[in-house]
Amino acid sequence: MNFFERQEQSRRTTRWLVVLFVAAVLAVAAAVNAVVCFVLSLGEANRTGYSPTLGEWMTAHPGTVLLTTLAVVGIIALASLYKTVVLGGGGGVVARSLGGVRVSPDTTDPQQRRLLNVVEEMAIASGLPMPEVYLLEQETGINAFAAGHNPANAAIGVTRGTLTTLNRAELQGVIAHEFSHILNGDMRLNIRLMGLLFGLLVIALIGRTVLRLSSGGRDSKKAMPVLLVALAVMVVGYIGLFFGRLIQAAVSRSRESLADASAVQFTRDPTGLRGALVKIGAVSGGSRIGNPEVEEVAHMLFAPGMSRFFATHPALEDRLKALDPRFDPKEFERARAEMARLAEQKKADAVPKQTSAERLEGLINVPGAGASASVAALVGNPSTLHMQVARDIRKSLPDAIVIASRHPHSARVLLLALALDTNPESRDRQRQFIGQQIGAQTADDVAELLSWVDALEPEQRMPALLGAIPALRQLTRDERMQLLSTLNGMLQREGRVSLQSYVLRKLAQVHLNDDLNPAARARQLPLSAVQKDIQVLFSVLAQHGHTDAAASRRAYEAGVHHLLPRERPSFVNLAHWAQPLDLALSRLDRLAPIMKEQLVEALVKTVTHDQKLTLGEAELLRAICATVHCPLPPLVTSAIDT
C-alpha cells in the first residue's frame, strides 16, 4: 500500500467513523427519549390512573420526543465541536495537556539534541515541515505520539523514559513510526476521534452532575423522577462511550499495525523499532504514562499508555512477531538483564558517525521507462538512503541558516529571504514592500541574510524553509496572517518571475494556511474539473525547463497525455503565469489521493522528457509536489528504479 492508497484508506475510515458516530448518537438519543418518556408517562399515570404503553405515550407526545432528541443531539454536537476547536491549536495542545514541554531548538542537552537531530533528519527525508518536539519530562515509561491536524501544525512528543532507555537506532524507529502517522493522515483521524468521543462523554457527565446535585435535596419523593432520569442518562452516556471506545480501539489497532510496517519501510531496518518494543516489554514501567489525560489520547500513542480493557494497540508480542517471526518472548528477560548491567553507565548516546551520502551534484541519472511510477512510489515513502542524504543535508546547512530557523522572528526573516526573486529589480521592490508591511528593521535583516541564502545549494533551500516552520508557529496569529499577506503581496511586485522562488513562496503559503486553518477541508474535485489547471501547470513547467518552444511542447505533451489521454488540452505560452499557476495549484490540491498519484507521474514525465534531470529540476519537482501535499524525499540516483 503506497502513500496515495493510505491517504484514500484514511478518508474512507473517516467516512465510516462519521456513519458509526451518527448511529451512536441516534442510539443514545433514542435511549434518553425512552427514559424521559417512561418517567413522564409514570407521572401521568399517577395523576390520571391510566397507564399507556411507552409507544402510545411517545406517539401522543411527539413534541416531547422531538425536543429531547434535539437536546441530546445538540449537546453531543456542540461538545464535539468545542473539543475539535480546542484541539485546532495543533499538536502542541495535546502535548501540553499531557505535561509536555517544548524542546528548545537551542538545547545543549545531549539526549534532547539527539532527539531533535533525528526528528529533523526524518522531516528532511520525508519532505515535510519540521514538527514541534515536546518532552514529557515526568514520564519514565517508553512512549511517544504524533498529534495535529496536518503536517504544518504537527507535534511529536516523547517521554523521558524514551530518551534515557533507547539508543539512537531505536529512537529513530520510534520517530519513524510517528512520522508514518503524519504521512498517512492518521493525525486528523485521531483528532476527530477525540472530538466525537468527548461529545458522548458529556452526556454521561451531565447525568452524573445532575444526579450528584439532586441527591442532596430534602424532598426525596419529588426529586425521585429527576434522579431516575439523571441516573439513566448517565448510564446511557457511558454505554454510548463504551461503544465509542470499541470503535476507537478497532480503528487504532489497524492504523498502528500499518505505522509499524511503514516505519520499517522508512528506515529499511526493523532492528531499531524491534529493539524499542523489546525494551518496552522488558522495563517495569513499560509504556505507561501517569498523566490522567492519557485515556483521551490513548489511540495516539506509540504503545499503550495504560492498562485498559479496550486495547488501542495490537499485543506487544504480536507486533514483534510481525517484525520478526522468530521472536521469542524470552528476549524480554534477556533485555532486562542487559539493561540492568548497563544501568550504571547512564550516559547520553553519542550521535554515531555516519558515512555521508554522495553529494547531490550535477545531473541525476534519468530513470528508465518506469520512472514516473517509480518516483510517485517515493511519495511518503523515504528509505534508508534518503535518511543518509537528510543527515548529510542537515550537517551541511550553514550555521547562520540553522540559527535563523530556530527563533520566530529570525525564521520569518529567513522565509522572506528564501521567497525573494532572483531578479535584482524585483528584489528591490519586494524588500521595499516587506519594509512597508512588517517594518524597516525586518527588511534590513532580510538583506543581511541574503548572502547566506544565495549561497545555499538547490537541495538545501527546501529543508531550510521547512525547518523554519516550527519557529514560525510561535508567532502570534496576527503576525502569521501579516506574513501570509506579505508573501501574497510580493508576488504582485515581481517583474520576471523565477519559478524556483515562486514555488518556495507557494510552499510557505501552503504551510502557513494549513497552520492557520488546520480543520479546513475543501470539497474534492474530479479530474474533469481541473483540466484548465493541468494545462496551466504543465505549460509553465515545460516552458521553464526547455529553451526552445518545440522542446517545451514535447515535454508538455508527455505529461498531459499521461494524465488526460483523451482530452489533451493544448500547450499555452503564458507570459504572466504566476497568478494563474497560484490558482491552478490550489485547485489541483483538491484532487483525490489516487488522482494525485497520476498527477505526480505526469509531472515526472514532463520534467524528464529531455532524458536529463538536473538537481535544480529535481528540487523544483519536489517543491511543486509538496504544494499539493505529496511530499517527495530527495531524488537521489539510487533511490529511483533505473
Q: Which of 125, 114, 95 is nearest to 171 (CA)?
A: 114
Residue 396: in which H helix or E strand, if any?
helix 384-396
pLDDT at 157: 94
Which residues are 525's β-sheet partners?
A: 591
Q: How far apart are CA 386 and CA 183, in angstroms?
A: 16
- Burial readout 590-624 (b: 16 or more C-beta within 10 A, e: otherwise): bbebebbbbbbbbbbbbbbbeeebebebbbbbbbb
CB atoms within 10 A of CB 52: 15
Question: Residue 158: enclosing H or E segment and its boundaries?
Answer: strand 155-159
Check if 178 is active-site: yes
Which pLDDT score, from 0 to 100, does residue 353 have?
38
C-beta separation of 88 from 517 below 8 A: no
Q: What is the DSSP string of 125-137?
A: HHT-PPPEEEEET
Give alpha helix (H) positions in 438-476. Answer: 440-454, 458-467, 469-472
Rounded to whole angstroms, the Cα distance separating 146 from 125 reads 17
pLDDT value, residue 223: 65
Q: Are 487 and 509 in contact (CB under 8 A)?
A: yes
| Burial group, residue 235, by CB count within 10 angstroms (0-12, 13-18, 19+) | middle
Residues 17-26: contacts with CB within 8 Å, 24+ apart?
17/189, 17/192, 17/193, 17/196, 17/247, 17/251, 20/247, 21/196, 21/244, 21/247, 24/200, 24/240, 24/243, 24/244, 24/247, 25/72, 25/73, 25/76, 25/77, 25/199, 25/200, 25/240
User: Distance (Å, rounded) from C-alpha 123 to C-alpha 133?
Assistant: 12
Sign of CA dihedral 595, 604, 554, 585: positive
The 155-159 sheet, strands edge to edge: 101-102, 132-136, 155-159, 144-147
**Closest listed residue to residue 499, CA positions, set 635, 411, 416, 621:** 621
Task: Please list the rounded mean pLDDT of every run of 10 residues in the chain (642 residues).
Answer: 66 74 84 83 73 79 87 88 81 89 89 93 88 91 89 91 90 90 82 82 84 64 72 82 78 76 74 88 81 76 65 80 84 80 50 38 44 74 80 90 92 92 82 92 93 89 90 90 88 66 84 80 86 92 81 90 86 84 91 89 86 77 87 64 37
Domains in the chain, start-ordered, CATH in brackets? 3-89+192-248 (no CATH), 92-190+256-343 (3.30.2010.10), 365-382+521-639 (no CATH), 392-515 (no CATH)
Q: Which of 120, 121, 170, 178 is catalytic?
A: 178
The closest alpha carbon to 180, from 118, 249, 256, 114, belongs to 256
The span from the CA of 506 to the CA of 465, in Å, is 11
User: What are the distances in angstroms from CA 512 to CA 391, 497, 516?
Assistant: 26, 22, 6
**What residue type is assigned to position 369 of the chain?**
A
β-pairing, 101-102 vs 132-136, is antiparallel
Consecutive H or E run containing 602? helix 593-607
The CA-based dihedral angle spanning residues 81, 83, 89, 93, taken in that order and rounded to the nearest 10 degrees: -170
Contact 318, 355 (CB under 8 A): no
- pLDDT for the residue 35: 81
Burial class (CB in 10 A: 0-12, 13-18, 19+), 492: exposed
Q: What is the CA radius of gyration of the chain?
A: 28
SS3 82: helix
d(CA 389, CA 394): 9
